[in-house]
Amino acid sequence: MVIQRSLLVGALGLCALLATPAAAMAAPGPAEGGGSSQQRDSLRALGANIGLRIGTAVNTDQLGSNAAYADITAGQFSTVTPENVMKWQLVEPAQGTYDWAAADRLVAFAEANHQLVRGHTLVWHSQLPDWLTASAPSMSPDQLREILRKHVTDEVTHFKGKIWQWDVVNEAFNDDGTLRNSIWLQKLGPGYIADAFRWAHQADPQAKLFYNDYNIEYTGPKSNAVYALVKNLQAQGVPIDGVGFQTHLDTRYPLPDLRNNLQRFADLGLDVAETEVDVRTTLPVTATEQSAQVAAYSQTLQACMAVKQCISYTVWGFGDAYSWVPGVFQGEGAASIYDENLQPKPEYYALQQDLELATGAPHRSGVGAGRG
Ligand code: 9MR
């Protein structure tokens, strides 16, 4: 089913030049929004006008080998999220042997380009190292808790002072609002969530600590369960600063009431962020489907802009050639804001236009400070 949506025809008419100067790769350079004249209409510069960070997940293989990819990463975005290289499977491939190299390179890239880093992700049921998957079932709860504590502590300590927001716990709930039956829940009980936040806070008291999940953009059992969890954590004095709304959308489903959901979490005194935005559709893409994608991107950004405590808007990669979608959803794709050849799509221009239209709105600096 294709959902009817209003079309953002105006956005398609915009043809602002892409700003991808090589200068953006080198330090010293402009701060949050970039500063050179070529960059004035980049997403990061336009976001900076209103104090909103615009981010992307980064494929570090491409970053190291594809100059056009690196130019866009540097020129368009003011925060980066490692798509994979901070996950447990990659940082501790053998027990006790850490490999931080790829993640360190991304952090250095971010520093050189005046970008902040979203750390992703410390506690998850997926992308665990093989040694852990094999040995966890036979461990005692105390043994497994100690392994989790060490992982969280070692990783947060390694990146101490370099991470703006950490996704401390990722995807702990099922869509029906029950807790996911992960190895963590099975062995440690629901208290593993509070423990993880406490350990992360001990290791880096300055980092903003987030709970992150998908399908919580909609009001319903899952977002209600996360809301109850967060209130409960706050009541216990657990150091949680924010909630990340992944925002993986599909044109086959209705748009979420995202603004309301962002606002009700923000009203708890939290920061909120859209952390993994993409909008997939069936291939080949029809004009109607692409209009729906453009509208979805636009509405997700507008929802963030409408909530003062929404401190960053991050797309889950920016090029259709590198998207996770076709590998997981058969027959779907085209979910990103740049095409297979790294050319900006109408989705890109819609975001750019929304940010341009917001220029002059009150700056968000000083809001959303969260707990600290
Ligand atoms: O984009 C990531 C892909 O390269 C990995 O193969 C996959 C493994 O599960 O994880 C993808 O990223 C996920 C993110 O870490 C958490 N939310 C859902 C994302 C898309 O699956």
At 125-165, the pLDDT tens digits run 999 999 999 999 999 999 999 999 999 999 999 999 999 99
Both tokens assigned to 201: 């806070």
- pLDDT level of residue 85 (50, 70, 90 thresholds): very high
The band of 360, judged by pLDDT with boundaries at 50, 70 and 90, is confident
List all residues whose CB is within 6 A of at least one atom of ligand 1: 83-84, 126-127, 170, 246, 276, 324
Distance 167 CA to ligand 1 centre (A): 13
Q: Whole-model pTM?
A: 0.90
Q: Return the residue whose CA atom lies nearest to atom 14 of ligand 1.
A: 83
Give the residue numbers spanning the domain of 292.
Answer: 12-358
Strands 271-282 and 332-333 come out as antiparallel
CATH number at residue 125: 3.20.20.80
How many CA atoms does the CB half-sphere of 159 hold within 13 Å?
37
Q: How confident is the model at residue 12 (pLDDT cuts 50, 70, 90)?
A: very low
The predicted-structure confidence for 29-60, as pLDDT tens digits, reads as follows 344 554 444 488 999 999 999 999 999 999 99
Higher-confidence residue of 298 and 32: namely 298
In this structure, the residue with its CA closest to atom 4 of ligand 1 is 324
Question: Is position 224 within any domain?
Answer: yes
Concerning whether 356 is annotated as a catalytic residue, the answer is: no
Domain contains 350 = yes
What are the tens digits of pLDDT across the range 259-293? 999 999 999 999 999 999 999 999 999 999 999 99
Lowest mean pLDDT among 34-48, 55-69, 118-132, 241-255: 34-48
Reading the block at residue 12, the tokens are 């398609």
The answer to whether the CB of 273 falls within 8 A of the CB of 313 is yes
Mean pLDDT on 163-191: 98
Residue 18 pLDDT exceeds 50: no
- 169, 120 in Cβ contact below 8 A? no
Is 147 part of a structural domain of the chain? yes
User: Nearest C-alpha to atom 20 of ligand 1 is from which residue?
Assistant: 324
Residue 365 CA to residue 261 CA, distance in Å, equals: 22
- pLDDT band at 14; cut points 50, 70, 90: very low
Overall number of domains in the chain: 1
Are 278 and 336 in contact by the 8 Å Cβ rule? The answer is yes
- At 19, the amino acid letter reads A
Distances (CA, A) of 183 to 3, 122, 137: 38, 14, 8
What's the confidence (pLDDT) of residue 32? 56
User: In testing the pocket of ligand 1, which one of 280, 316, 318 has its CB within 8 Å of the most ligand atoms?
Assistant: 316
Phi, psi of 288 (to 5 degrees): -65, -45
- Centre of ligand 1 to C-alpha 34, Å, is 29
CA of 27 to the centre of ligand 1 (A): 30
Q: How far apart are CA 368 and CA 228, in angstroms?
A: 20
Is position 171 annotated as part of the catalytic site? yes
Residue 253 contacts residue 3 (beta carbons within 8 Å) = yes
In which region does residue 116 sit, left (phi positive, over 0), alpha (psi from -120 to 50) or beta (all else)? beta
- pLDDT value at 122 more than 70: yes
Q: Above 50 in pLDDT, residue 3?
A: no
What's the whole-number average pLDDT of the chain? Answer: 90
Whether 127 is in a domain gets the answer yes
